């Protein structure tokens, strides 16, 4: 028995589950995987996932948070602000202050809250320029968790995520194996046994990409992922436009919404 009989996940594409694709083209992700772990120990377990790709913090706090507060589940996971801090000129401390208001509202209702630090991008070509901003945001998140009694899944400290095989080609989203390990780490933070270890070493591989290969990869990534993102930002658009939550209400895990399947690449 986990003591968690209801769970609501809010956030952006990380929590929606990109790019942990199911056979039908929809996405699973760490939150769905965590729900499966929690459901195994609780009869009548119910789960909602309100996360939508591309959502900014203000949208998450106005569209998703009120539903979670009103529903008052046993557990709410919150990962938000990542899309905000990558915008040039963003005030990381101000973003964190807005994030804290949401955490305070959940904790005031006695809801168990788990938040997530941003991962370390040191070894990720091009994306490593964001490392300083992510670190500042993470420091704020730890302070928020301390002030409000929230639990923290420290993605920055997960060595397993430093392997490139944990990341999709877009350098923003995790692979299915990355999502699996994050789900296991979250269960561990909640004190829920799984019989699996997210720290398990990745299989050994032979050879390393040379500089020219990495350079070509950077150029391809810029063309396929970065430039389209910049164009959407300039037009005030998001890949989340028109997308609705995949699990908009608390329901048994076996129930899934009839949301149309979308299979194209997406922002965070």
Per domain, the residue ranges of the chain are 6-199+245-252
In which band, very low, low, confident or very high, does the pLDDT at 226 lie, cut at 50, 70 and 90? low
Whether residue 266 is predicted with pLDDT greater than 60 in this model: the reply is: no
Say how far apart CA 126 and CA 129 lie, in whole Å: 6
Region 6-199+245-252: CATH code: 3.40.50.1110
Q: Which residue has the higher pLDDT, 210 or 173?
A: 173
Peptide bond into 58 cis (omega under 30): no
Whether residue 265 is predicted with pLDDT greater than 70 in this model: the reply is: no
Q: What is the DSSP string of 137-169?
A: HHHHHHHHHHHHT-EEE-GGG-GGGGSGGGB-T
Cβ atoms of 51 and 245 closer than 8 Å: yes
Q: Count of CB atoms within 10 A of residue 145's CB?
A: 18
Question: In what side-by-side order are the strands of the sheet with 247-252?
Answer: 151-153, 112-116, 75-79, 6-11, 46-49, 247-252
Cβ atoms of 43 and 26 closer than 8 Å: no
Q: Per-residue pLDDT tens for 33-78?
A: 999 999 997 789 999 999 999 999 999 999 999 999 999 999 999 9
Q: Strands 6-11 and 75-79, how do they pair?
A: parallel
Q: Give the pLDDT score at 61.
A: 98
Whether residue 262 is predicted with pLDDT greater than 60 in this model: the reply is: no
């Amino acid at each position: 028995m986990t003591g968690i009989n209801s769970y609501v996940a809010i956030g952006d594409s990380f929590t929606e589950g990109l790019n942990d694709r199911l056979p039908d083209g929809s996405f699973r992700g760490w939150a769905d995987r965590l729900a499966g772990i929690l459901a195994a120990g609780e009869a009548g377990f119910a789960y909602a996932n309100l996360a939508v790709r591309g959502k900014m913090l203000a949208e998450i706090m106005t569209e998703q948070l009120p539903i979670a507060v009103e529903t008052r589940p046993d557990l709410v996971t919150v990962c938000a602000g990542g899309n905000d801090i990558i915008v040039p000129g963003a005030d990381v401390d101000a973003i964190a202050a807005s994030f804290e208001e949401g955490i305070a509202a959940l904790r005031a209702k006695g809801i168990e809250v788990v938040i997530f630090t941003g991962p370390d991008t040191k070894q990720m070509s091009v994306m490593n320029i964001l490392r300083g901003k992510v670190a500042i945001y993470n420091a704020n998140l730890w302070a928020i968790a301390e002030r409000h009694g929230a639990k923290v899944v420290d993605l920055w400290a997960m060595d397993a995520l430093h392997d490139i095989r944990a990341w999709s080609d877009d350098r923003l989203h995790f692979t299915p194996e990355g999502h699996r390990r994050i789900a296991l780490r979250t269960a561990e933070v909640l004190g829920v046994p799984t019989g699996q270890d997210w720290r398990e070493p990745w299989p050994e591989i032979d050879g390393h990409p040379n500089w020219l290969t990495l350079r070509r990869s950077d150029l391809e990534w810029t063309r396929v992922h970065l430039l389209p993102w910049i164009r959407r930002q300039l037009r005030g658009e998001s890949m989340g436009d028109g997308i609705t939550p995949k699990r908009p209400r608390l329901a048994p895990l076996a129930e899934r919404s009839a949301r149309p399947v979308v299979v194209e690449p997406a922002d965070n």
